[in-house]
Structure 1
Amino acid sequence: MRDPVLICNDDGIQMIHHCVPGRAEDSVRRWVDFFLQDCAVELFSFCTARPDKTHHETTVAERDFSTLEHAPAQSQLHTKGILDELRDSGTDILRVIEDQVHSRGKRIVASIRMSDVHHQSEVYSFMTPKVMREHPEWRIRNPDGSLDVALDYAHEGVRRHRLSIIRELIESYDLDGLELDFMRSCRFFAPAEAERGIPLMNQFIAEVRDLLDQKARDTGRDRLLLLIRVPSAIEACHGLGLDPRTWVARGWPDALIPSDFMWLDYGTRVEEYAAICQNTNCGVYPCVNPFAAEWVNHRDVNDYAPKPVNFNRRVFFSDEQIRGLVRNYRTWGANGFYTFNFCCETIDNPDFVKRVHAVIGEEPEKTRSRPASYLFLPIWRAVRSPSGMDQTGRTLRFGGADLGQRQVFHFRMADRSEEKALIGRMRFRIYNLHDDDSVRIDLNGETVPDSALLERRKTNIHVAADRRYPGMHIPPHIAFEYDLARCPPMKGDNELGVTLLGRNPIIDSDCMLEALEIDVGWIGHPQTVGYLVQKD
């Protein structure tokens, strides 16, 4: 599959929550139609197995709340009522979705989360699957000897159990294929044993491919699809026990979906997957997420110190920001696109969901010719993401002890300017920088000239410095705005260099830079909060 398809994954939870009791089937059909009709989704991926608990009726796993003695909240009782209503009418939620998608002439795959650890939280402990309670010896053992809440694929029993769930889906439903989601929750083997588990996981995927091929032969259908959701770069795969190079070489998957665990990421290494898929029938469909960056408790940031900003759910990406992401993905080899977790915004922000899908669906020429923005955020405030991706270059911290030492913020941008200057703006904020402090800014090692600096704007207390995101308070900072046309060339994979040259010795805390925004083809949204600081 290499056609420019728009794929959407729906986890079913919001779909069920929005269902009206007594009208469950109609509610499900209307929800699915929103994505198929209003968002022009061509392939609907329904997450029906997580993997041991399911939305659909099953004889080998556990259907959600098929029994319920105690409900932590009313929501679980509602979910049980909706799924029971569908069961009692002779169907289930997957059959209804399957029928609705096919009635619109489109395709559906059942998505299986290859590991899910929501039940590690006390709030969600009720979601602990029966198989884990019955087989605690199958749990991953952590380096400190403690037991994880994820099951270990090194145990044959785990592989057989989960393969039986997949076999039931393939044999019992009229699906167009399956999706194996390895980004939920990125725990498949004991950390020290993951690479030794690669042959076991390869064999597992080979068996899934065989089951799909057997169903196609039995029903006289064309090849059934196998989509696989993978980390945002190949470098993270072996550390999880995953081997996409072998999968593609053996012809098992039809699509690879590089993705961060949770957040929108302009830096997804699409080209690495495009390279291993070259001259094959497997396409690359990078993931678009609606969420901006890791959640931060607002109480932890509301002081004078340079603390992280609470970006999550505060940023509803603009058309220009989505267009920048699409440019990046296409430039580095995407065949199409895959949207994830937009179901979480559908109940209360349907216009945002429609708008994002409309931008993704623009003709390539329109995407190239219209204004675009690139918003680079910290994503994970840790050394590594859950999939193992290095995060150290996404947030810069520096102070008086770092005078003269160049700090590097890495960013990837499809728009290049080696031959022709870009029209637009570059903006970033340095938290806790004082008026008397001095910095040198460079792009790819070339100093940005003073003539490119349009303004520096200062605030001395937490403020909503960007009016596009009400309630997102930024720590005290100096905001820098540059004219792109006067900046050194952009080269695709870029470095923003920041060198602290002078620091008021009275200040004993560090500076911080965690976000960069670049607007191309327009001037974007200048910061208006704060007072102007004289240029150096």
Structure 2
Amino acid sequence: MSTAINNPNDPADPHSPRRLMYVADPSSIAVGILPDSVQPNDLYQWVDMLADAGVDIFVQDVCSQGYTVYWRSDQFQYDQRDQHRRFLPMLDAGTQPLQLLLDRSRERGMAFIAGFRMNDNHDFPVFCDFIESHPQWQLVRPPEANQGGKPLDFTFDEVRAFDFQIMAEVADRFDVDGLELTFRGPGYFPAPHGPQRAHLMTDLMRRLREMLDAHGKSRGKRLLLGARVIAPIEQCLELGLDVPTWIAERLIDYVSPQDTMYSDFNAGYAPFGDLTRDNPCMLYPGMNPWSSYRMRQKHPMTAPMQRALAHTFYNVGADGVSLFNHFVGHLWNPPFYPHALHDFRDLRDPNRVARAQRHYVFDPAWGGVPWFGMDRNPYGVLGAQRVILDRAADNPSGVFRFNLYEHMDHVRAATLLVRGPDLTQHDQLDVKLNDTPLSLGPFGRPDPRPREHCPDTRWFALPPDAPAFGDNHLTITLVTSDPNASGDLILDEVEVFVQPR
């Protein structure tokens, strides 16, 4: 049974000893690590990097938008983009790269999962014949949604059968430890009909479970079925993904909730923990390389940020951490691969996470992104939290909510930071955390000297009794507005630094 960590000295009680999952997408490793042309030893070295970093479960995406990658089939088309042509000499010689990845993973003690992207928002120069020749089966999306790719409408039996056949061939030809379905695409049913058609996707999940159980019986083991889904869970249901039923019927063996691109510290992970806590289904929330679109322009997640998010995961009942898109943030940023992989060892141990410094960043994940409607995520949902204060009003006030799973008796010091692009040194704020007033103290206000401190920041030493374990509300009141400033005062970033005892 998975439990929250009420004492950082007590280990969590996971469903499985496998703590750390690494997900490789269809192309990034081929582009960023593997040479042209790829030799078997190149694949072995790549798998060894992951094993040496403490990875327990290696998920390699093997199909996207109808194309196979890392393996070739007589029934389905192989991805002809340049990054996948580097495997052709090996494939022409009769060697499947997927088999080499699988074999080396087994040798190094890692489980190997084949991943499938259930729709995608990436554009291809040419889409597979199944997609191109059946425009009537393509998903019609609202204008505010992501318009990339050519996603399919799972209302149609033919679409569900097509995906099932690809997965069935992989499970039949390769002795994988399971399959993962990545539901981070631009939808699966026409909006707003997802909830009414969710049973169709659930039927597909039942069929996959039956197929995997048949293979597992002959191989003497249970083959895993995992689902990577959007958080919060209510959004899954809107998309036609009935995750609670998948868990209740034991159709899936693990679930990985996450934002599509960013590590959202405020995402609704706890409801997934409630569903899995008394169920064999494992919980591996997804960790992305950046906290927000804004942070993507600066730097990827730091080690203290990764520990803070992992601490949240473990305290809502997670069995481990799933690293998604990690390579995108670290292949081209120092310390580069393979060194950047070694932060993982901290994340696999909830006690090490609890004993080290943590940095929580609550910023607007999709703030400033105009592509799907300003500040909205690829599903058109508002993905930015803000406190907006009208400078012309008397003592305008707003509330910023955030999740913090910290037992303050195990914390030596904690600092809360509030930031806004329109905050000036002459603005006076009254700030309360859960109704406890926070004092700026001698160093909490900006220094007016040039280039000393950012004028858009206030920071506060947190009293031990101020933070709540879980949901917190920060009430911010503009007591005195800068007389030279006009328009709204927007505060949209809150950070918490935690130094454990």
TM-score range, shorter chain: 0.7 to 0.9
1:96 pairs with 2:85: no
Equivalent residues in 2 for 1:425-444, closer than 5 Å: 425-444=415-434
Equivalent residues in 2 for 1:60-459, closer than 5 Å: 60-65=75-80, 76-80=81-85, 82-119=86-123, 125-143=124-142, 149-183=150-184, 185-217=185-217, 219-294=218-293, 310-312=294-296, 314-345=298-329, 347-348=331-332, 349-350=336-337, 353-362=340-349, 364-381=350-367, 382=374, 384-387=376-379, 390-392=382-384, 394-417=385-408, 423-450=413-440, 452=441, 454-457=443-446
The SS at the match of 2:296 is coil
CA distance in 2, matches of 1:109, 1:201: 21
8 A contact 1:51–1:162 mirrored in 2: no
Alpha-carbon displacement from aligned partner over 1:139-180 (angstroms, at most 9, x marks no partner)? 112357999631100111111111111111111111110001
CA distance in 1, matches of 2:331, 2:482: 50
Alpha-carbon displacement from aligned partner over 1:269-326 (angstroms, at most 9, x marks no partner)? 33211222233211111111112211xxxxxxxxxxxxxxx31052233322222112
**Bigger shift: 143-152 or 365-374?**
143-152
**Bigger shift: 487-496 or 245-254?**
487-496
Deviation at 1:131, TM superposition (A): 1.8
Deviation at 1:235, TM superposition (A): 1.4
**Cα distance change, pair 146–443 in 1 and its aligned pair in 2 (3 A):** closer
Alpha-carbon displacement from aligned partner over 1:379-418 (angstroms, at most 9, x marks no partner)? 11255433566534x233333245423222221111144x
**Cα distance change, pair 390–78 in 1 and its aligned pair in 2 (3 A):** closer
Amino acid at match of 1:244: V
1:25 to 40, 43, 58: 40
Q: Percent identity?
A: 23
CA distance in 1, matches of 2:259, 2:146: 25
The residue that corresponds to 2:56 in the other structure is 42
8 A contact 2:320–2:348 mirrored in 1: no
CA distance in 2, matches of 1:154, 1:143: 17
Alpha-carbon displacement from aligned partner over 1:199-243 (angstroms, at most 9, x marks no partner)? 1010011111111111122x3321100111112221111110011
Q: Which runs of 5+ in 2 are unaligned?
A: 1-13, 368-373
Deviation at 1:487, TM superposition (A): 7.5
Amino acid at match of 1:155: F
1:498 to 471, 476, 494: 476
Q: How many residues align?
A: 474
**Cα distance change, pair 444–286 in 1 and its aligned pair in 2 (3 A):** same
CA distance in 1, matches of 2:487, 2:226: 48
The residue that corresponds to 1:304 in the other structure is none
Amino acid at match of 2:346: V
Deviation at 1:464, TM superposition (A): 11
- Tell me the TM-score normalized by structure 2: 0.87
**Cα distance change, pair 421–160 in 1 and its aligned pair in 2 (3 A):** closer
CA distance in 1, matches of 2:410, 2:35: 56
Amino acid at match of 2:59: S
CA distance in 2, matches of 1:145, 1:266: 25
Deviation at 1:507, TM superposition (A): 2.8
Deviation at 1:77, TM superposition (A): 3.2
CA distance in 1, matches of 2:45, 2:411: 48
**Cα distance change, pair 233–145 in 1 and its aligned pair in 2 (3 A):** closer
CA distance in 2, matches of 1:282, 1:380: 30
**Cα distance change, pair 58–424 in 1 and its aligned pair in 2 (3 A):** same
Amino acid at match of 1:391: G
**Bigger shift: 346-355 or 83-92?**
346-355
Alpha-carbon displacement from aligned partner over 1:439-479 (angstroms, at most 9, x marks no partner)? 211112332235x4632125799x897xxxxxxxxxx7332
CA distance in 2, matches of 1:251, 1:130: 35
**Cα distance change, pair 287–24 in 1 and its aligned pair in 2 (3 A):** same
The SS at the match of 2:113 is strand
Amino acid at match of 1:3: S
8 A contact 2:354–2:500 mirrored in 1: no
- Tell me the TM-score normalized by structure 1: 0.82
Q: Which runs of 5+ in 1 are unaligned?
A: 66-75, 120-124, 295-309, 466-475, 524-536
Alpha-carbon displacement from aligned partner over 1:456-507 (angstroms, at most 9, x marks no partner)? 125799x897xxxxxxxxxx73321211237834442112221122324553
8 A contact 1:421–1:489 mirrored in 2: no
**Bigger shift: 8-17 or 150-159?**
8-17
